[in-house]
Amino acid sequence: MKRVFNHYSGRLTALTVAGALTLAGVTLAFTQKPKSEEKTPPNVALDERPIPRDAASHNSFAPVVKRVAPAVVKVSTVAKAHNMSFNGGGPDIDEFFRHFFGDQMPGRVPAPRPNYNAPRQHGVGSGVIVSKDGYILTNNHVVDGAEDVKVSMQDGREFNAKVIGRDPKSDVAVIKIEAKDLPSVPMADSEKVEVGDVVLAVGNPFGIGQTVTSGIVSATGRGNAVGLDYEDFIQTDAAINPGNSGGALVDAEGRLVGINTAIYSRSGGNEGIGFAIPTNLARDVMDDLIKNGKVTRGYLGVIIQDVNPALAKEFNLKNATGALVGDVTPRGPADKAGIKSGDVITEYNGKKVTDSRHLKLEVGMTKPGETVPVKVLRDGSTRTLEVTVKTLPGDEQVAKNDSGEKQDTGTLNGVGVADLDNAARQQYDVPANLKGVIITGVEPNSPSAEAGLKPGDVILEINRKPVHSSDEAVKMTENTDNKVTLLRIWSKGGSHYVVVDESKAG
């Protein structure tokens, strides 16, 4: 029987997907910075013209590489060590992955306490300078858990970098170095990329030094490839290997079309299927991280599924496209707009909906508070409804980002929470009569993680005061004098008290 594995490539960071299994991102949480501290997005050069497809074939890409290569950097990280154990696969498989990828990959879980005597983990990835003042796009999994981040440029210069923000749901991260007049790569409109376009992958595979490979765009709009919440990958056969993560995928004009992120592989090396985050998605995430310290996504309040031929026949649809609404959250945006179970959403904000993944992406990129037209097919007739999008539950969070800012005076840093709605109750089997907020993520190595908090736990009380909403939880943990927090937690059918001591953190 064939076994299929999926994993991050340890601290030699290229996300590797073996076989057809998916890899889920780690949930982290960020709070919005005070308005006085908000930063404007960087001045990114844009070149959104369609690529000329009637030109003669290139005999050499050397001129393109000379323009792009100086802006693609090596990202070196140092992270805390952990005792890790592998869930399944046996000692031989475990030793193989440890030899090739190191000790950090999905399937490994931290021991209850870190081994402080173990050496710290070193990792190598790539990044792309996108503004002359030092903003760099890379992958979340490149800098995830890093205590120190260093950027090395092609001209030999090295800089200490600050992590501005991370978004595990899309695997995008933004780091920054303090420098001026840096080389940068202009961004193309990734929606204009077509299958068959020539692309170059630039990065630092295996840490051996900058390398350029060429190929074509094999597919666009790839989803369900890695297991992230938001996937819209450009697929390419340009060679991508461990260490390429965060590097540049550029078109034949030298414009950035994607951030190299993952490979499909049974061996751990390149097998001709690589995935890159399209620049349009990466740019939206980057702007939010820089301006607000987190990514705020839109929310409709529907449970949706793809339309297959059998469902299309039952719902009298002409073709198997669109997103079928299986359930509607009471009093949510969709419910208030009149969307019902059994509706097929065929258009969202003027764009055709091909499947449920595509709808999720479009909704996620909608700014909360915006009203958009949604076209639905119901009982054979089409109608257009106006939906006012809200903030995705789980974006109201207690945790802070890891940008290196030290001004925080709150508590429960590294913990994400959301309102306890019907979907959360079903997912985590929470009784209907229980009041509180659901924990959506706990940052590794944080005091909250050390205290035993984990996703799916329900916070009932903070410092002996009942909690009813995520907004209330945020307010109760802001600007506190005491860095020791007493929590009453419901978990696995029972409640207990937990003390989170952040007095020595940071």
Same structural domain, 366 and 431: no
| Catalytic site residue from 245, 446, 448, 470 | 245
Residues 311 and 379 in one domain: yes
Residues 270 and 419 in one domain: no
User: Among 438, 440, 448, which residue's Cα sits nearest to residue 483?
Assistant: 448
Query: Is the same domain home to 45 and 108?
Result: yes
CB-based contact 10:101 (threshold 8 Å): yes
Domain check: are 352 and 467 in the same one? no
Q: Is residue 407 part of a domain?
A: no
Domain that holds residue 438: 415-501
36 catalytic, yes or no?
no
Q: How far apart are CA 186 and CA 255, in angstroms?
A: 5
Specify if 54 maps to a domain. Answer: no
Q: Is residue 406 part of a domain?
A: no
Half-sphere exposure of 353 (CA within 13 A, CB side): 27
Q: Is residue 101 part of a domain?
A: yes
Q: What pLDDT does 395 receive?
A: 57
Identify the active-site residue in 144, 167, 171, 457.
171
Of 91-105, 175-189, 420-434, give the lowest mean pLDDT range: 91-105
Q: Which residue in 141, 184, 356, 402 is the catalytic one? A: 141
- Shared-domain flag, residues 352 and 219: no
Of 292, 320, 350, which closes a domain? Answer: 292
As a whole number of angstroms, the distance between CA 147 and CA 490 comes to: 32
Give CA–CA dist 449/282, Å, rounded: 29
For the question of residue 245 being annotated catalytic, the response is yes
pLDDT digits 0-9 by tens, 245-278: 999 999 999 999 999 998 887 776 778 899 999 9
- Which CATH number do you get for residue 66? 2.40.10.120
- pLDDT of 90 above 70: no
CA atoms within 13 A on the CB side of 266: 5
Which residue would you say has higher pLDDT here, 243 or 202?
Answer: 202
Residues 9 and 88 in one domain: yes
Among residues 249, 276, 292, the one where a domain terminates is: 292
Q: Is 147 found in the same domain as 72?
A: yes
Q: Is 408 a member of any domain? A: no
Please count the residues of the chain: 506
Look at residue 92 and give its three-state secondary structure. helix
In the chain, the percentage of residues whose pLDDT exceeds 90 is 42
User: Is residue 381 annotated as part of the catalytic site, yes or no?
Assistant: no
**Residue 327 belongs to some domain of the structure:** yes
Q: How many domains does the chain have?
A: 3
Token look-up 């001026």 returns: 180
Could you tell me if 255 and 240 lie in one domain?
A: yes
The enclosing domain of 466 has a CATH number of 2.30.42.10
Residue 346 located in a structural domain: yes
Query: Are 412 and 448 spatial neighbours (Cβ–Cβ below 8 Å)?
Result: yes
pTM of the model: 0.67
Q: What pLDDT does 373 receive?
A: 96
CA distances (Å), 166 to each of 150, 163, 403, 450, 463, in order?
Answer: 16, 8, 9, 21, 30
Q: Show which of 345, 376, 391 is a domain's final residue.
A: 391
pLDDT value, residue 55: 57
What pLDDT shows up at residue 65? 95
Residues 341 and 278 reside in one and the same domain:
no
* Same domain for 387 and 439: no
* pLDDT band, residue 56 (cuts 50/70/90): low
Q: Going by C-beta distance under 8 Å and a sequence separation of 6 or more, which residues neighbour residue 502?
A: 411, 412, 413, 447, 483, 484, 485
> Do 168 and 64 have their domain in common?
yes
pLDDT in tens, 14-25: 454 444 322 322
Q: Is residue 129 part of a domain?
A: yes
